Structure 1
Amino acid sequence: MASSTSLLSEEQFHCPICLDMFTRPVSTPCGHNYCMACIESYWDGALVCQCPVCKERFEMRPHLKVNTFISELKSQFMLLQVTDQLQVNSGSVVLCDICIDTQQEAVKSCLECLTSYCEVHLEPHHRAAGLRKHTLVNPVTNLEDKICKEHNRLLVMFCRGDGVLLCDVCTSLQHVSHDVVPVLQAYKQMSALLGDTEAKVQQMVQERQQKVQAMKESIKQSKRETEDVVTNNEQELATLLYEIQKSHAELVKVVKKKQKASEEQVEGFISGVESEIMELQITMIKLRELKQTEDQLRFLQNFPNSPLLPHTMDLSLFSFNRHLEAQHIQKSLGSSVSQLRMLLNQMNAEISKFAFSDGTEVSNELMLRYMQQYEVNVSLDLRTANPLLILSDNCKEVRYGMGSGLWINQNLNPNMFSEHLAVLGTRGFSSQKFYFEVFVGRKTEWCLGVATASLQRKGGITRTPHCGLWAIWFLEDKFETFSAPGVPVYLGKVQRVGVFVDYDVGQVSFYDIQRAALIYLFSDCSFTEQLYPYFNPCDNEYGSNLDPMVIVPVSCTE
């Protein structure tokens, strides 16, 4: 029967090679003990077999078998560790399950009977031959929750890979090659992880609170400066002619419109950050509640398999510098007023410039960095490629060609495009956001976007908004959308294109990476099935066009 006292220490059951608890312990002829896998691996390829500890050499490689005595001793030691810890954590009196009238305090719990006994009702376990073989441990509450349902043995191990509690039999039969550690070790490691995560969550909450406060102060300052711009210029322009009054009215309209747009932008950001704060605070509460769970088994059973931290935005991607624009227009107009007769046209031009300048270049740069956070690994699906396309061995490049290249798809199958020179990505997406980049170089024609799994593969594809393809088509020096042929949406050539999809919002956007410029945005899309990246390198109709379309990582430079 088990006893809660032991003169053994955990270090005595550590393998000298892996420095962890024995797994299938074996003994060498010199009397030292190792994990079977450790010593076998140590001897593999060695010219002479010797003991890693005492260096004794063996003329022939010893034939090793599991030392059942050490294995059972290790199991008993771990059993004592767990039962002692369970009793410490229970913190309450365990009553005898057999007493009828007045329940007495239990002195032992039987792992085979799953019952706790007082001194009187424990007596048969000392007397009866069959019961004497049962394993008795110090009284444990809710004993049935701590026993393996399959082998009726105490749960003493934890598989970190599968996230499940195991008994010693489960460990030796079903999890031999898994990352299995004692319950106590797993509890300490994961408790430490919770502590670190809680501190990180608290720091993230503080950062967001500080960011929100800074944004609130910035918008107040911006509003004051905007009002100052309106008031100061109103006094100076009030005495001028009709043209000056017209310019002033236009200035007020533009500045207020800009201010309103800025306020709406910051308010949207603040709302998102406050939502993140609420979600992080909820996460922190949950982490604290889980961290306070002293019952190791319940702690591990309740430990979430999903990531501990919720997905949050990068705060560095958003900044507010509206007041700089206000300062710029104030300085520009102040100079113009002093020479108004001579510079009236210039002043109107500045107002118009301010009216139509919305910080697009800066905003697009920040937006591009934000989208690149959602980069996914995209590979081309050989089964969908048109037979006239050539794919690279790593399925990252596709080009038009016949009879040359790294790979040519010759076998027709129902998944491939028969007429369109297209190929899809291997992975489909049905929620959240995803992003990928494609290098098109000097190609004179190409088509890129995302398509539904049900997109027509045989014959031509009708170019309508409801065909299941959201793509841009480049023709020599201009862009049009696949769904609206003949209508230019962007002029000029690009070398590298970023594709960003917000599935839940219903948007697909395309960016010129070099200029950080938006090429086109599909909005208000209704997605009802998985979306797959779509690539069409096109033929040579508009000149030499044999260069490939190449899927490149965000970190890659030309």
Structure 2
Amino acid sequence: MASGNSLLSEEQLLCPICLDVFNRPVSTPCGHNFCLSCITAYWDDIPVSQCPVCKESFERRPDLKVNTFISQLTSQFMSLQLTDAHGRQPRCGGAVLCDICTDSRREALRSCLECLTSYCDVHLEPHHRAAGLKRHTLVEPTASLEDRICKEHSRLLTVFCKNDEVLLCDVCAGSRHANHDVVYALHLYKERKALLEDTEVQVQQMIQERVQKVRDVTVTVERSKTETKEVIASGVQDLATLVSEIQKSQTELVKVIEEKQKAAEERAAGLIRGVEREISELQETTTKLRELKQTEDPLAFLHCSSNPSLLPRTMDLSTVSFNGQVEMRHIQKVLSNSVSQLRMLLKKLSTDIQNVSDGSDVSDSATLRRVQQYEVDVVLDAETAHPRLILSDDRKQVRYMTSSGIKGSQNPKMFTSKFAVLGQRGFSARRFYFEVFVGGKTEWILGVAAASIQRRGAPAQISHCGLWDIQFVKDKFKTFTSPNLPALFGKVERVGVFVDYEGGQISFYDVKTSTLIYSFTECGFTEKLHPYFNPCDNEHGSNLGPMIIVPVHRTE
């Protein structure tokens, strides 16, 4: 093989099985050549070892060895291909110069792989003439030839070990890397180059996607700026209007109270004047009576004492009352309830604003989905159930029974004053969530209670009684600790209860609409909390339907 113009073609060095250039070629007894891995795999899949080309069968599987001649021939062919491919690439630093020229170095015409030298047309002439040099391999002018030769075996680096990621000569590949994944460098070069092209296309696509994303985000930011200004203006206007209405209500309240007070003072003044006039008339009558008592003439005395004008006409004091204080207390009560509702709304507004500030997801549906992940299995504790309550066999349902034939019990765990029952399991130092189907019930109570909650006698309606619940009555909700303060208006069918023990928070949700009904915050829990159920009686209409503990996502 005297030059790059080889008499061999790639087709002559292809394995008949994989149709690729030989990799560790072997020869069968019939004289055909295959890749060692290809013929081995082929024989593993058939019962009799035979040649895939001529179909000659062998009694025993031949012990094949790598054909070093074909291997070297293939390696040299691949090195030519690799070198030619390298020579066709743009060369950094310009043309390859002749290594022999001394004065004015001319451009090299060929490079010799055996001499590791590049020659111009003049100095290349001995390789065409001398018999020993004619056998050298000439390739396109190539720089850094020494980097293409194995330093240990002085052979061309034609293969690549994928296990160690190094270039090898055919000797290295057959010795220390015999069991490694070794491929021809030219094939891997083409494969990885194609991969680079695909990667480049992918990178360009990623660039375009990110450029478009930057544009989209920029547009979104501009829109957000506009929307933010509108939201700020609207929010400020709404709050300013609310403040103005509160101030107006304050002015009207002061005016009404002052007018009430003025009217009361005028009524009191009229009453006082009337009473004082009667006092004056009675004092005059007293004087007349004293004079009459001093009359000695019986006839004159009888004549005067029988005169009805001696007693002046007076009002019936039992019918006279002044209720100014009662009226003011009524106004104060109405005002207190209204202010409490307003404070609750302002507290909710403050919480929503804080959630936005903290980056929390203020979407009700997203919040509900987040807390539903803390679902726990709740079953009812029959020992705590009021005698009027009936539990289902699976202890997932509770309802009120009108019959009074149930005997009482002395069980200290049982509720006696409330139609209540607790969940069997208590929870502490964690978050938990459960859902309850209430359907069309007209009244019910749901929440959580401390393990030590009072079971006999009505618990006090204070914030530290160990009960945190909401009560539904006909069309509105209220809380146990604030019975006169509506928490929400409207009816629900399914209620979710979420408890954050460490966070000191209990929240109730309308599962169907993902709406927050009410939240207890800043609670101080010191013991286990149990789910609390009270289906209530029939005070507000038919209410015999059960409260049902249901799993998340199940539709009743």
Q: Which TM-score band applies after superposition, normalised by the shorter structure?
A: 0.3 to 0.5
TM-score with structure 2 setting the length? 0.45
Larger radius of gyration: 2
TM-score with structure 1 setting the length? 0.44
